[in-house]
Amino acid sequence: MAIPSPSLSADPRVAEVLVRRRRGSISGGVFRGLLMAALVMSLLFLLALIVDMLVEGQGVLLIRPVEFLTGNLNSNPALAGVWQGIRGTLMLALIVAVVAFPLGIAAAVYLEEYAGDTAYARRVNINIRNLAGVPSIVYGLLGLTVFVKILGADGQGGLTGGRTVISAGLTLAALVLPVVIITAQESLRAVPAGIREGALALGATRWETVRHHVLPAAAPGVLTGTVLSLARAAGEAAPLLVVGAVTGVFFVGAQGFFEQIFSGRFTALPMIIFSWARLPAGQGWNSLAGAASFVLLIMIVVVNGVAIYLRNRYEQKW
């Protein structure tokens, strides 16, 4: 076999082949461009959403921002404010945090740290994944039956008092529970087995291992997951609609924050947006709905953004 002699000049055949190969990259470039366009479009929606809310709501947001945020519901669009909605949403978020977080994290600890790979644990896991996919309005029906009618004696007293903040809060807690469990499980699963073995080999019990090592190591992911699910609960309206949030004008009177939780008639920011958005155009309600949407959107985007940022920053890379 002849050894090819080294040559400094370009071999025309090689050049031809390479050029031909380059032509193939035109379709590749188009393809790449299309994919990038899909990504850019997806992100543009977020921008369009924020800009649209700002434009629609500017009449309210620029002219009377403080009155809008601190004012109560009113049948006169020029005077209406969203304070009752913000307050209701905060109350609901508080109930969700108190009920769903401990329950969800505890369930995740059981499934990841205690249950092992038993048939029972597998069934519970599948059950939770399916629960996470149940539409939120169906949870509303659950809340209506269990918290309003059975536990609340259909408004005639009972544990929850019927159509109250506590009933709605418990409904939302049930709604986000599977999401809390799943995200907490993922964070727990990411903690390396070596840490558990190390603690157990020192004579620590399961509980000591979980409390001192596994939970602290999983904390950034668990916290982010819970905050994201809290934001989801805060943005929900469908279950509240069924459980009976108020969409019209109402007066809280002189009730305190905690007093109101058990005593009926409540609303939430998403409910206010829903009712305003459906009112006939041309009387100023649309602008109010836009402004309220902007407030809700910013609240949720900021909370989510901070949670995601903190997770990406502090998450342990194993």
Partner 1 sequence: MDARMSMTETGRRQGLMARPVPRAESEAAPSVVPTTVFDINDVSVYYGGFRAIRDVSLDISKNQITAMIGPSGCGKSTMLRCFNRMNDLIDIARVEGSLRYHGVDLYGKGVDAVEVRRRIGMVFQKPNPFPKSIYDNVAFGPRVAGVKGALDDVVEESLRRAALWDEVKDRLKQSAYGLSGGQQQRLCIARALAVSPEVILMDEPCSALDPIATAKIEDLMAEIKRDYTIIIVTHNMQQAARVSDMTAFFTAEVNEQSDTRTGILVEYDRTDKIFQDPADRRTEDYVSGRFG
Partner 2 sequence: MAQATADPRLGADSPDALRSDPRKRRTERIARLVFMSAAFFSVVVTLAIVLSLVFEALSFLLGVDLGALFEMGWFPRRGLFDVRTLIVGTLLVTGIAMLVAAPLGLGAALYLSEYARPRLRRSVKPMIEILAGVPSVTLGYFAISFITPQLLRPFQSDVAFFNLASAGLAVGILTLPLVASVAEDAMRAVPQSLREAAYGLGSRRMKVAVNVVFPAAISGIVAALVIGASRAIGETMVVAIASGATGGSLFSLDVFQPGQTMTAAMAALGAGTDQVRGADNAFQSLFFIGLLLFAITLGLNVFGDRFVRRIRERY
Site for partner 2 in 26-55 (CB under 8 A): 27-28, 31-32, 34-39, 41-43, 45-46, 48-49, 52-53
Q: Which of residues 213-272 bind partner 2 (CB under 8 A)?
A: 228, 231-232, 234-238, 241-242, 244, 247, 270
- Using CB under 8 A as the binding criterion, the count of chain residues that bind partner 1 stands at 22
Q: Which of residues 214-233 bind partner 1 (CB under 8 A)?
A: 216-217
Judged by beta carbon, residue 16 or residue 278, the one nearer partner 2 is 278
Judged by beta carbon, residue 263 or residue 304, the one nearer partner 2 is 304
Among the listed residues 15, 65, 78, 130, the single contact to partner 2 using CB under 8 A: 130
Q: Which of residues 196-215 bind partner 1 (CB under 8 A)?
A: 196-205, 208, 212-213
Q: Which of residues 115-144 bind partner 1 (CB under 8 A)?
A: 116-118
CB of 193 to partner 2, least distance (A): 18
Q: Which of the listed partners (partner 1, partner 2, none) does 265 bind, with a CB threshold of 5 to 8 Å by partner kind?
A: none
| Burial bucket for residue 13 (CB in 10 Å: 0-12, 13-18, 19+) | exposed
CB of 146 to partner 2, least distance (A): 6
Which residues neighbour 80 within 8 Å (Cβ) at sequence distance 6 or greater?
Answer: 68, 71, 72, 73, 74, 288
CB of 217 to partner 2, least distance (A): 17
Which residue matches tokens 């992911």?
Answer: 221
Say if residues 247 and 40 touch (Cβ distance below 8 Å): no
| Burial bucket for residue 236 (CB in 10 Å: 0-12, 13-18, 19+) | buried
Q: Which of the listed partners (partner 1, partner 2, none) does 236 bind, with a CB threshold of 5 to 8 Å by partner kind?
A: partner 2
Q: Tell me how far apart the alpha carbons of residues 142 and 28 are, in angstroms, rounded to a whole number.
A: 51
Q: Which of the listed partners (partner 1, partner 2, none) does 75 bind, with a CB threshold of 5 to 8 Å by partner kind?
A: none
Q: Which of residues 87-106 bind partner 1 (CB under 8 A)?
A: none
Say if residues 132 and 125 touch (Cβ distance below 8 Å): no
Which residues neighbour 273 within 8 Å (Cβ) at sequence distance 6 or greater?
Answer: 237, 289, 292, 293, 296
Judged by beta carbon, residue 28 or residue 203, the one nearer partner 1 is 203
Kindly report each contact of residues 203-208 with a partner whose C-beta sits within 8 Å and lies 24 or more positions away, as own/partner.
Answer: 206/113, 206/114
- Token pair belonging to 189: 């699963």
Q: Which of residues 170-199 bind partner 1 (CB under 8 A)?
A: 192, 194-199
